[in-house]
Amino acid sequence: MKVKITLLAVFFSFFYGFAQEKPYMDFRMRNYSKKIDSIVVSEKSKMNIELDQLDKDFKEKKMSAEEKQKKRTDIALKYEQIINEKVDEQKTDLENATKELVKNSVLGNGKIFDNVEFSQNNALLSFKDSKQTKKELLKTLDMNVALGFINLTKSASSLAIGDKSSQMKPGKSTSAQIEFRYTGQFGALTSPVFYRFGLGYRGDTYVPAHSKVFSYDNDELFLTDFTSGNLKKSRFVNHYVVVPVDFVFVLNPKYIVENNEKMLDNSKGNLRISAGIYGGVRVASQNQIVYKNADNHRVNYKENIPGVADDFLFGGKLSFGFGAFNIYVQKDFTPIFNDFAKINNKYGFQIGLELLYINF
């Protein structure tokens, strides 16, 4: 686990160093363009509302055709002035961005990682979406990396993650997951409901409590005391290929008008709750023991273990998130181990956090 955390920290530091050095020229130019587009779309939307009301009043014979035409002209001139004033406010940003762009072009400076956002207060890393329109953001491809604490319960319905009868060490047994997912909007462009499915890897690491080790003999797996030296680590690892399917519900939907279409604004941080199921196929199981022998030499023992873990995995997942932050609970409805594993509890349950989210 220390190796995983160290690699993750190096990964964050590497990208953070580059991000601090870049002036983000290309991002600033795109940001300026988006601001202008947003101003025009927003004010035109307000103008159209007034014009629609004007047409309604005319049809109800509240004004003459001459009055209607005059008011239409006044409304158009009013919003033309508003747009021009708001665009003028952005000129300083454009001039500064243009000067830096010319300077960097002359000096030959490249641009990298314009879409990277870092949080210095936690371990989360997210990538800003490079798509050009808000409509494109309603359908995404992403990679998600998550880490959770896992324990074994007595039944498929039990949620007792701290159950002492599980024989696993609390806080040491973990589950790492990497998923590639497609997300699409369910229904109209204003719908706050999304569907998501993908393909991924899951690796569960079980660490026995009370300095026990997993032992395999006569086609059976059981826990026993270690007597071959000074025990350093003991763990049993299951590797799976998984297929997750989720429904995502946005709890605080925000909307925007783009190209005269009203749609959900999926570019902002939204509160969301997700519920789904997953299925998986086990591809390998391995017992690992690290110890020092009588000669004080470090020994790393690994053994592939067949026939003690179920080949298939099925379960449910519930998560709550905001922006790049997402916390989840996950329950296996099928047992992790079969009858050849002589341990008390056999159903997995975990609580975890998404550590890395990359949106393509």
Both structure tokens of 86:
């708001």
Cα(329)–Cα(189) distance, integer angstroms: 29
pLDDT in tens, 223-251: 999 988 899 999 999 999 999 999 999 99
**Distance of alpha carbon 81 from alpha carbon 325, whole angstroms:** 41
Q: State residue 357's pLDDT score.
A: 75
- d(CA 351, CA 243) in angstroms, rounded, equals 19
Per-residue confidence (pLDDT) for residue 136, from 0 to 100: 83
Does the pLDDT at position 8 exceed 50? no
Per-residue pLDDT, 268: 67
Model pLDDT for residues 17-50, shown as the tens digit of each residue: 444 444 444 555 666 677 777 788 888 888 888 8
pLDDT at residue number 120: 44
pLDDT value at 125 more than 80: no
Sorted by where each starts, the structural domains of the chain and their CATH numbers stand as: 23-107 (no CATH), 131-359 (2.40.160)
85-91-96 Cα angle (round to 5): 165
What percent of the chain shows pLDDT beyond 70?
78
> What is the b/e burial string over 158-187, where b = at least 16 CB atoms within 10 angstroms of the residue's CB?
eeebebeebbbbeebbbbbbebebebebee
Q: What is the pLDDT of residues 101-123, one digit of tens each?
A: 555 544 444 444 445 454 444 44
Q: What is the pLDDT of residue 97?
A: 59
- Model pLDDT for residues 315-349, shown as the tens digit of each residue: 999 999 987 789 999 999 999 999 999 999 999 99
